[in-house]
Amino acid sequence: KRFNLPHITDVFGDAVPIPSTFCLKMRSPVSDVFPGVYPSDEEWHGYINNNDRVLLKVINYSSPTSAGAECIDPNCTWVEQWVHRAGPREKIYFKPEEVKAAIVTCGGLCPGLNDVIRQIVITLEIYGVKKIVGIPFGYRGFSDKELTEMPLSRKVVQNIHLSGGSLLGVSRGGPGIGEIVDSLQERGIDMLFVLGGNGTHAGANAIHNECRKRRLKVAVVGVPKTIDNDILLMDKTFGFDTAVEEAQRAINSAYIEAHSAYHGVGVVKLMGRSSGFIAMHAALASGQIDVCLVPEVPFQLHGPHGVLRHLKYLIETKGSAVVCVAEGAGQNLLQKTNATDASGNIVLSDIGVYIQQEMKKYFKELSTPVDVKYIDPTYMIRACRANASDGILCTVLGQNAVHGAFAGYSGITVGICNTHYVYLPIPEVISHPRILDPNSRMWHRCLTSTGQPDFI
Ligand code: ATP
Ligand code: MG
């Protein structure tokens, strides 16, 4: 059976579908609709044809899927998904010397932001773009009159990947979509590169729609930034690899602390609001975790099958234990904060602190002394510089974002799917977060590695 991905949209939003042998009704980029495009200056002729597709996945659902794989149609066992292949096109829609391109980074920090900014600037310059600017401090930079746009060039960005953070700064909240598009018009921006998570992409999609409504020839291209690796369909997002590597260091510290103390327990809280990929991968990589708790798998702290009972067993048998918990895990056990951040995201209650407190109470009642050390390395991890594999991923994503904009696509985001680099329509990837499948082999491999039982 075949699955049709919704159309990828061009800068006009009303292009003609290409008759396709794949039964796909994809929209063509604007260059097919409006002739008179410009030949690309690229000397290398490895152009990607606009009809090129990547087979996303073929999955036989009769057996358990890998983590995060989803059944699109419960009635079929074989599903094919095709997506647009990313890369440079022979015909480009914009005339490079007339283009003004802008880059904005929103949401929280993630390793690799500077790598992506750098690569977008470098690639734009190679196309011949002269006017490249950075919008400071996320979407806020479009409305705050005190913030002026930052001129960008290869010289400015040459070494920015050597440190973490974002050269442009980030923020949450900010102006409405109308105000952002007014600002785009005032500034004469033709290409907007948006680096951010689900919220930022919802914003980017709304900006794209508003530009279509106003018939503005602006290409809005996203680069998904989620350290949690929770974007649908993508193999991985930048920053995740680095986060897992850094999380291992925190786990190792917790292990040494726990191991060196009498009845020591280390608790490490890791990122993962709705998905436990960082916790699971860090547990698998470190080999030092006894209990891994993720949002997707419910657990009890108390009772005969609770986490605390198991920790007691570990203290008695091993003398120490290390727990890693994703920030979104066990939220049902906690009182809701009812607070939201500037972007409207719910502020989660602190599961790490709660586990630490309950553990102290539990062992006090048993008159068993335990030495609990709690580590929250979140901000240290987010601010790290990207590691080698993320550095490469960022480079390719940044280049492909520019190729996508020059091809005339808009309302798209770039990603790596099934080891190929692709363009995806934004709404398709942000409808909900990708979560790990508790029935997947990877989660079971994690359980085998930690040796933990079910806590229900
Ligand atoms: P992170 O993964 O770090 O949370 P994020 O992109 O989800 O990244 P948010 O703070 O939620 O971070 O959102 C970033 C920006 O996107 C904010 O300026 C916010 O105002 C805007 N935004 C969030 N949700 C929407 C939405 N549904 N429509 C339009 N704009 C949005
Ligand atoms: Mg978010």
ipTM of the complex: 0.99
pLDDT at 31: 34
Distance 273 CA to ligand 2 centre (A): 9
Q: Of 135, 343, 432, which is best to mutate to test ligand 1, by the most ligand atoms within 8 angstroms of its C-beta?
A: 343
Is residue 174 in contact with ligand 1, taking CB distance under 6 Å?
yes
For the chain, give the number of residues: 456
Q: Which two tokens stand for residue 267?
A: 């608790």
Q: Which atom of ligand 1 is nearest to the CA of 225?
A: 2
Is residue 224 in contact with ligand 1, taking CB distance under 6 Å?
no
pLDDT at 23: 24
Distance 199 CA to ligand 2 centre (A): 5
The per-residue DSSP string of 291-339 comes to EEE-TTS---SSSTTSHHHHHHHHHHHTS-EEEEEETTTTGGGS-----
Is residue 106 in contact with ligand 1, taking CB distance under 6 Å?
yes
pLDDT at 91: 80
Which residue, judged by its Cα, is nearest atom 12 of ligand 1?
A: 107
Is residue 87 in contact with ligand 1, taking CB distance under 6 Å?
no
Distance 191 CA to ligand 1 centre (A): 20
pLDDT at 34: 37
280: burial class by Cβ within 10 Å (0-12, 13-18, 19+)? buried
Q: Which atom of ligand 1 is nearest to the CA of 173?
A: 20
Is residue 138 in contact with ligand 1, taking CB distance under 6 Å?
yes
Determine the Cα–Cα distance for residues 449 and 291; give it in Å rounded to an integer: 10
Phi, psi torsion values for 332, nearest 5 degrees: -65, -20
In order along its 456 residues, the chain shows pLDDT tens digits of: 344 444 666 666 654 333 332 222 233 333 333 333 455 554 555 788 877 777 766 554 444 444 344 444 555 545 556 778 899 888 888 889 999 999 999 999 999 999 999 999 999 999 999 999 999 999 999 999 999 999 999 999 999 999 999 999 999 999 999 999 999 999 999 999 999 999 999 999 999 999 989 989 899 999 999 999 999 888 999 999 999 999 999 999 999 999 999 999 999 999 999 999 999 999 999 999 999 999 999 999 999 999 999 999 999 999 999 999 999 999 999 988 889 999 999 999 999 999 999 999 999 999 999 999 999 999 999 999 999 999 999 999 999 999 999 988 899 999 998 888 999 889 888 889 999 999 888 999 999 999 999 999
pLDDT at 236: 94
pLDDT at 13: 60
Q: Which two tokens stand for residue 83?
A: 């997506």
Is residue 423 in contact with ligand 1, taking CB distance under 6 Å?
no
pLDDT at 155: 97
Which residues are identified as catalytic? 228
Q: Which atom of ligand 1 is nearest to the CA of 171?
A: 18
pTM summary value: 0.89
